[in-house]
Amino acid sequence: MPMDTVDFRDLAVEEFDTTTMLKHATEQAIQRRYEDFFIADIDGHHYETGSFAQICEYIEDPVMRQQAKYQGFGGSGIASSNGAYQELMGRVTRYPGRRKEKTPTTPHRDITLTKRWMDAIGIDYVCMFPTPMLSLGLTPRPEVEVALSRAYNRWLCEVVLQNEPRIGSSLYLPINDPEASYQMVKDFGGKKGVIGFTICSPHYKATYDNAYCKTYALIEEMGLPLVYHGAFAWGGDQSMSLCNRFLAVHALGFSWFNILHCTNWLCNGMPERFPKLKTIWVESGLAWVPFLMQRLDNEWMMRSSEVPLLKRKPSDYMREMYYSTQPMEMVHNREALELTFKMMNAETQLLYASDYPHWDMDLPSTIYDLPFLSETGKRNILGGNAKRVFNLEPIVSEVKQKRLAARGTA
Amino acid sequence: MADVLVCKDGEIAEGGVRVIQAGEVEIGVIRHDGKYYAYRNHCPHQGGPVCEGIRMPGVLDIIGEGGIFLQQDFDQKDIHIVCPWHSYEFHLEDGVNVCDKRIRLQKFKVVEKDGAVYINV
Ligand code: FES
């Protein structure tokens, strides 16, 4: 038998490099020629805990600043109130690996790391969200939520968004304080890279409350979207605390809080009261959408008297809302997925999201490889819809520009 | 079909992985408990580098008499290859996915002879 010699590399456990870990994603990007179109990721994350010392300096109240510095952020031990074993005991290697990854002193580490995974995957533009702060609405002191979210938003605008045109953000609203939420929109709307405002869904405020109306009106007037970003609550939530496995908490929680707010949004006629306000439901997957459409339509036919503001079926309004793709439930039933896409008018309403670097991230190929989508539909979902909804300037990443130049099509 | 030289025996440390490029195909050669296993370094889920993650024993729920839950335990006899991208798990012995038998990694035959390790590609 002939014997070949080959190229090889041995894996070094002590090193971690995003570009290497995502080499196969880069191969997908090259094979599928992602350089031919704009890809926007409307839900990518960073770990703000890595920059918490800097963020603390942006807390306006000096006593709160000192408290934050002393206490730190979060608490990730096994007995912490949020359960905290999301990281799968090291099975997803980028969780422990990211701490070891080397970056130059400039630009800011979060910019370098974010652009590294964007380039590897083939993403031109990302709407960046924090990670543990998604649960900040559950903190018992509303003033902590206000102080930390203002500090984070100021830090994000000055340190990241100001310096990197490929990164934008839909800024956190401190939902437990309606007045502070309004002030946030007034103070930050119009700043560079601010492309929307976000309600992180796990919290216990009814977002149809009149106290929020002026905030919605202002966001609508600015032409920005309102994002509801899913997440989970565990320890503090009576229903969820019946779950003893994170799989259950995650599968239910990330969809549940958006199902709850979307239902209330419809039952209070908010789409009629703020007809130009674009709402985007992020990180709840897609399977909940047909469920809620069917459920609400059925009940509305019998009880429309309770919701007289709704002039059309709840599902008609839902088909005008926007949804992010991830985490796309696509494991076994292509038919169900196709029907879901049809029911939500995916080709115009669905926005690609990676959720990178989280454990259930989706690559653009999850959309690009779907056989039932037209080429235009794929490109809309991967970037065209986001460009329209967020009023984005399409950017071609440096990596893609090089690929185009190499093909002679730049 | 060609025998491709991977390494001299012992060159890959216990628990280590060597990723080799055999033409178009990337193959992960894993050394575990003194044995070598070779799989295509391509995860059937979203194409991740499945051999570049960690290995972990399977996890079992231990159920006592009367259906009572007792505890969880590691099954040291069933080591899993864990894909580092999203944690899909595959039995190290045969590359079959632990949740769905229809999903499997492409396995390559490993031959040890004359103090060296080869795979049949
Ligand atoms: S690509 Fe391997 S688990 Fe997803």
pLDDT above 60 for A5: no
Q: What is the pLDDT of residues A180-207, one digit of tens each?
A: 999 999 999 999 999 999 999 999 999 9
- In chain B, what residues touch A8 (CB-CB under 8 Å)? 6-7, 18-21
CATH number of the domain at B97, please.
2.102.10.10
Q: Kindly state whether residue B112 falls inside one of the protein's structural domains.
A: yes
Residue ranges making up the domain that contains B104: 3-54+83-120
Q: Kindly state whether residue B73 falls inside one of the protein's structural domains.
A: no
C-alpha torsion A196→A202→A207→A211, nearest 10: -90
Q: Kindly state whether residue B71 falls inside one of the protein's structural domains.
A: no
The C-alpha R_g of chain B, in whole angstroms, comes to 16
Q: What angle do CA A214, A220, A225 make, to 5 degrees?
A: 120
Q: Assess contact for A161 and A256: CB atoms under 8 A.
A: no
Number of domains in chain B: 1
Q: What is the pLDDT of residues A219-270, one digit of tens each?
A: 999 999 999 999 999 988 999 999 999 999 999 999 999 999 999 999 999 9
Q: Assess contact for A280 and A228: CB atoms under 8 A.
A: yes
- In chain B, what residues touch A4 (CB-CB under 8 Å)? 2-5, 22, 121
Confirm or reject: Cβ of B103 under 6 Å from ligand 1. no
Q: Do B87 and A365 touch (CB under 8 A)?
A: no
B12: Cβ contacts below 8 Å, ≥ 6 apart: A10, B6, B18, B29, B31, B36, B117
pLDDT above 90 for A10: no
Q: Assess contact for A129 and A167: CB atoms under 8 A.
A: no
Q: Assess contact for A280 and A351: CB atoms under 8 A.
A: yes
Q: Where are the domains positioned within chain A?
A: 26-406
Relative to beta strand B3-8, strand A3-4 is parallel
**Eight-state DSSP code of residue A183:** H
The residue written with tokens 């989508």 in the block is A373
Confidence of residue B1 (pLDDT cuts 50, 70, 90): low
Q: What is the pLDDT of residues A396-408, one digit of tens each?
A: 999 999 999 999 8
Q: Do B52 and A362 touch (CB under 8 A)?
A: no
Q: What is the pLDDT of residues A286-300, one digit of tens each?
A: 999 999 999 999 999
- Position A13 scores a pLDDT of 63
* Among chain A residues, CA nearest to B12: A10
Confidence of residue A8 (pLDDT cuts 50, 70, 90): confident
- Position A15 scores a pLDDT of 78
Confirm or reject: Cβ of B85 under 6 Å from ligand 1. yes
Q: Kindly state whether residue B27 falls inside one of the protein's structural domains.
A: yes
Q: Kindly state whether residue B95 falls inside one of the protein's structural domains.
A: yes
Alpha carbon distance B71, B91 (integer Å)? 22
Q: What is the pLDDT of residues A316-370, one digit of tens each?
A: 999 999 999 999 997 788 999 999 999 999 999 999 999 999 999 999 999 999 9
Which structure tokens are listed for A196? Answer: 């929307």
- Position A250 scores a pLDDT of 96
Q: Do A7 and B2 touch (CB under 8 A)?
A: no
- Position A86 scores a pLDDT of 85
Alpha carbon distance A122, A30 (integer Å)? 8
pLDDT above 70 for A61: yes
Alpha carbon distance A69, A53 (integer Å)? 7
Amino acid occupying residue B70: L
Confidence of residue A79 (pLDDT cuts 50, 70, 90): confident
Alpha carbon distance B88, B97 (integer Å)? 7
Mean pLDDT value across chain A: 94
Q: Kindly state whether residue B64 falls inside one of the protein's structural domains.
A: no
Q: Kindly state whether residue B110 falls inside one of the protein's structural domains.
A: yes
ipTM above 0.90, yes or no: yes
- Position A76 scores a pLDDT of 73
% pLDDT > 90, chain B: 93
- Provide mean pLDDT across the span B97-106: 97
CATH number of A26-406: 3.20.20.140
